[in-house]
Amino acid sequence: MPHFTIEYSANLDKRVDMGTVVELVRKAAVETGIFPLGGIRVRAVRCEHFAIANGNPNFGFLDMVLRLGEGRDLATRKKAGEHIFKTLSAYLDPVFASSKFALSFDMQINDKETSWKRNNIHDVLKVEAAHG
Amino acid sequence: MPHFTIEYSANLDKRVDMGTVVELVRKAAVETGIFPLGGIRVRAVRCEHFAIANGNPNFGFLDMVLRLGEGRDLATRKKAGEHIFKTLSAYLDPVFASSKFALSFDMQINDKETSWKRNNIHDVLKVEAAHG
Amino acid sequence: MPHFTIEYSANLDKRVDMGTVVELVRKAAVETGIFPLGGIRVRAVRCEHFAIANGNPNFGFLDMVLRLGEGRDLATRKKAGEHIFKTLSAYLDPVFASSKFALSFDMQINDKETSWKRNNIHDVLKVEAAHG
């Protein structure tokens, strides 16, 4: 945890650098201060086939879902989500200015009773921090 | 909202026109009358690697998840889902007739407390409607 | 049901055979004994764009979500999840040994009231079983 999954219409290829977007979201997630660094995973899935609103093929969308673990209260989640959304939204200002576009972001909480993980990134980050 | 995400086995490429499928779902969603037009987003994700049932590589699947906002009662959601599923299922009759295939559709409700959006499609649709 | 969706960082292409992974998960799901064979659908989605932890592009992740139907108690779900996760984790031992990597697995339960399906795989499996 946390997992950020972005889905986007393929017509954004010409308008957005998706490598920059995932990095931007990663940094914004770090800045919230509520996530362990080694657990942050952001990714984007390109959707070749899509249909939006009245079907206009020039419309675009970018939708992000965050799945996170239990244990953070609503105020904390709202504040963190607000920060991440604002960062992402500001970066996409040019897309809103030049095209018709829908941006969205939702959070889901994973059930800790049915959650498994194995991760050796945490350890290397500790070593880097100690020697950094 | 609403978000329709389709995942499908790559072997459907030969059997189904996925551009037609997303457009079909979009139209069916509009027909339910319960969604704001500018919020409808349908997309499909092709899954190159898959394993179904006993592992037979000729088996196929198409799975759709709808995430929608709070505020519609169960009867309304069931009626809308029924319409969309029937439309999609009927379109896929030839796939069922010619192959072994699994179709599924589930709904999830997003928590409105942790939901962010920005969308300039609504406005252009209003303008189009006014100038008809 | 059940639906297993894997998302993975594109840099795993060089380290993991994803066709083997989906087949491994399928077999492990069958072994749990709690799923109807004809309903098992495993797929993997490659994520070209990703950002993990401190942004190191050599870090990798594989995240799996299982969506399953209602009607199985927590102990049953935990035991099944444990088996599937252990199988997957053991297969990925070389990835953990040779790189920094995050593996995760979560379960979600679908609302049976808003769930639709059509599946002709069940029938052919029965025929095969009868004549097998």
DSSP string, A1-17: --EEEEEEEGGGGGT--
Contacts of A70 in chain B (CB under 8 A): none
Judging by DSSP bridges, how do beta strands B41-47 and B3-9 pair with one another?
parallel
Residue B22 touches partner A, C-beta closer than 8 Å: yes
Q: Please report the domains of chain B, with CATH numbers, ordered by start residue.
A: 3-131 (3.30.429.10)
Q: How many CA atoms does the CB half-sphere of A53 hold within 13 Å?
A: 21
C91-110 core/surface letters (b: 16 or more CB in 10 A; e: else): bbeebbeebbbbbbbbbbbb
Do residue C103 and residue A118 have CB atoms under 8 angstroms apart?
yes
Q: Is C42 exposed, middle or buried (0-12, 13-18, 19+ CB in 10 A)?
A: buried
Residues from chain C contacting residue B78 (CB–CB below 8 Å): 113-114
pLDDT tops 70 at residue B35? yes
Return the pLDDT at A3. 98
Q: What angle do CA B2, B4, B5 make, to 5 degrees?
A: 145
Q: Side chain identity at C94, as an amino acid letter?
A: P
Average pLDDT over residues A20-49: 98
Backbone angles phi, psi at B103, to 5 degrees: -115, 140
Confidence band of B132 (pLDDT split at 50, 70, 90): low
Residue C48: helix, strand or coil by DSSP?
Answer: coil
Pair B45, B7: CB distance under 8 Å: yes
Is B79 part of the contact surface with chain A (CB cutoff 8 Å)? no
All residues of chain C having their beta carbon less than 8 Å from the beta carbon of residue A119 are 101-104
Residue type, B85: F
- Comparing CB atoms, the residue among A18, A23, A114 nearest residue C81 is A114
ipTM confidence: 0.96
Contact A22 C101 (CB under 8 A): no
CB of B55 within 8 Å of a chain C CB? The answer is yes
Q: How far is CA B48 from CA C54, C62, C126, in A?
A: 29, 16, 27
Contact B21, B6 (CB under 8 A): yes
Give B27's contacts in chain A (Cβ within 8 Å). 55
pLDDT tens-digit profile of A44-57? Answer: 999 999 999 999 99
Cβ within 8 Å, pair C106-A113: no
* H runs (alpha helix) in B11-120: 18-32, 74-91, 93-98
Tell me whether residues A120 and C101 touch, CB distance under 8 A. yes
Percent of chain A having pLDDT more than 90? 94
C60-85 pLDDT, tens digit per residue, is 999 999 999 999 999 999 999 999 99
The minimal CB distance from B5 to the residues A7, A78, A85 is found for: A7
Q: How far apart are CA A100 and CA B37, in angstroms?
A: 14
Q: Does B10 reach chain A within 8 Å, measured CB to CB? A: no
User: What is the model's pLDDT at position A95?
Assistant: 98
- Interface partners of chain A (CB pairs < 8 Å, 3 or more) are B, C
> Are C43 and B9 within 8 A, CB to CB?
yes
Q: Dump pLDDT digits (tens) for B115-130.
A: 999 999 999 998 888 8
